[in-house]
Each structure stands twice: as C-alpha cells, then as structure tokens.
Chains A and B, each alone.
Chain A
Amino acid sequence: MNALADDDNNSTSPNPNPNDNKRLYEDEISDQLLHVPTGHHYLILYPDIETMRKVYASYIKSQLKEQPNAVVLFLPYYDTTDNVRGVLSSKGIHVKEREREGSMIILDIMKVIQSSLFEVPDIEKLREFAKKTEQQFENKTIFIIADMSVFNHLHKPAELLEYEKTLHKDLKVERWKELCLYNKRDFEIMFTKDESNRLMEYHKDKVIIMN
C-alpha cells in the first residue's frame, strides 16, 4: 500500500506557502498514476472534494498529454458533470471538442447505475457500460475514472466487493487503466475492517491513500 506524503511531511518543507506544498503533493499523485501501465486497477482514497478535483484534473491533463489519442471515461459522483467539464477546461483540456469527437465521456455514475439500458443489477451496469465502451473504441487505450463512493449511499458493500474483485473479467485489460475513487469517510463506513482488508488485498500495492 502506498501512503503518499502527508501533512506532517509537508510541514517539514522549507517552502513557507502551504498551497505550494499541496500542489506538489497532488502532482506527485498524478505522476504516480501517470506511470501506472495499462491493465491495472487502482484504488484511490481521497479526503475531500477539493483535493479530488485537483488530482483528477492534474492526472487527466498529464495522461492526455502523454497519450492524446486515448479515451477518457469519467464517472463522477460528488461533482456534477458540468463542474467536471469546467475543472478540466480550466486546465486547458479541450473538453467540448473531445466530447464531440467521443474521446471523452463524462457521465454521472448514478445515471449509469440507474440506466435502463442494461437489464442487470445496479453494479453490474457499470461492468456492462465498460464493456460497451470497450467495443465502441476498439483498439484505443481507455482511461476510466469512477467515483465508487456512490455505493455507500446505495448500501451495497457486498456487491461492490465482488465487483472490485472481478472488475477486469470480460474486459481486454491491457487496453484499460481504471482508477476507482473513494471518499475516505465513505470507504470507512462502507466496509468492515475485514472487508476493507480483503479489498486492500485484492489491490495489493495498488492503493493510494491521500491525506
């Protein structure tokens, strides 16, 4: 498990501006995600919406700079899709253009889960949606970022555990990099200690806990 720099570490920095330290911290996480090869599935626990925004914006920008032809599928929960578009645009990402050409898909994760397109239980809709996206973008690399905190509100931890365990079943994993975001407090409530440990075990060294 990788627990990155925390506030204590930041406080030892010679830089007196805490905002600068925060920027460095977020860039560090973004860099780490950028260098994860495709075919991997990461769990990211974030402390608050502001931090999450900075990290996803920094990460998506860097990832698209490195692989401009890739497809980004972003399923936020606490952020509105319009806000996500605004945040990404403010980083210089051509969101409208990408959405028009189909290389960026931003959807409220709740809408995917509640969609009547797939006649399967809630959580399985995510898998079906991922499969559909994969078929749609044959041969393209796909970066998926999904805020799974929604499942705390749906009260379905058992189904979520199974999903996390078998996420890449049926998918051509070598074309995917998936980041499952969790608000830390939701994560703590959602799972018992035992479940949390099992989840960590599934992901082994692929967990980032942000402070």
Chain B
Amino acid sequence: MERNNQSPVFVAVIDDEADLAYLFREALNQIDGVEVFAFTDPSLALEHFQANHQNYRVVISDYRMPTMTGMELLSKIKDVNPAITRIMMSAFEIQDELFQECMCVDKFLQKPVLITDLINEVRMLLSTMQIPNTNRIS
C-alpha cells in the first residue's frame, strides 16, 4: 500500500446505533496515523467512501441497518475498491450462505465486541498493509 506519510489513512465505522458508532470511532482514533469516520447511515458512508476510496483501508459495518444491510454496503464497497478490508459486526446470527453469496466480508466480529479487540484487529490489519506510522490524527 502506498500512501503519503503526511496524510492519514481512513477507516469507517458504520452502525445505526449512534452511541456505538461514536464509541468505536473514539476507540479507533487511538491508532496512530488513522482518521476514523463514523456513520449511522450506510448511504452516507457509501457516498463518503466513493469520494475518498483512495484514502480508505478498512471499513467496519454493522449488519442490520436501515436502508441497506451491512452485506449490501460491503458489497458496494468492494465494487468501488476491492483492495479495502471489509469487516462485519453483528449481534445477530448470520447465515453462512449470505457470506458465501456475497464474498464481500473479510472478517466477522460477533457483538458485543471488546474495544481492545477491535483496536487490535484494526491495528493488525493496518500493520499487515505495511502502512508506516505517522502523526496521530486527533
């Protein structure tokens, strides 16, 4: 992954529960060199992604959300830029067939997700993408 050392990489968290979306954003903002965007509306998240996909590295989405499911969102994300790592989170059971049909989810996290686990997961993903640390974005 090539990127300008001065600019942060983008991570999006999409969850229709505003409290959770903002909580995850605050948590992931602890990772150096990352700018986290939180959305409660998947359509808005998709718009932001389409306009900024070159900066994005990871998209984390809830499954059941108004307007479109997390699966639909991640499928569209994959269409725009297949290099993005796509993580699904849900408190619900999701049928294996849906994952197989979509082939758009790289990692599934069962809610409730421990904040430390989420941070470690994203940190590990970014490190495997060989992204150098940059100034922390607050």
Binding site for B on A (CB under 8 A): 48-50, 77-78, 80, 82-83, 108, 110, 149, 152-153, 183-186, 189
Other 15 A-B pairs with CB < 8 A, given A80-B91, A82-B91: A48-B16, A48-B18, A49-B16, A50-B17, A50-B19, A77-B64, A78-B16, A78-B64, A78-B65, A80-B92, A108-B92, A153-B69, A183-B66, A185-B67, A186-B67
Nearest residue, chain B, Cβ from A188: B67
Main secondary structure on B side of the interface with A: loop
Assess the B66–A186 pair: CB atoms within 8 A.
yes
Q: Does B85 interact with chain A (Cβ within 8 Å)? A: no
- A152 to B69 Cα, complex, angstroms: 9
Band of interface residues on B: 10 to 19
Nearest CB of A to B70, in Å: 10
Main secondary structure on A side of the interface with B: helix
Q: How many A-B residue pairs have CB under 8 A?
A: 33
Nearest CB of A to B20, in Å: 10
Q: Does B61 interact with chain A (Cβ within 8 Å)? A: no
Q: Does B32 interact with chain A (Cβ within 8 Å)? A: no
Nearest residue, chain A, Cβ from B40: A48
Q: Does B26 interact with chain A (Cβ within 8 Å)? A: no
Interface string of B84-110 (1 = CB under 8 A from A): 000000011000000000000000000
Assess the B18–A78 pair: CB atoms within 8 A.
no
Nearest CB of B to A133, in Å: 23
Assess the A49–B92 pair: CB atoms within 8 A.
no
Assess the B17–A185 pair: CB atoms within 8 A.
no
**Contacting residues, chain A, for B68 (C-beta < 8 A):** 153
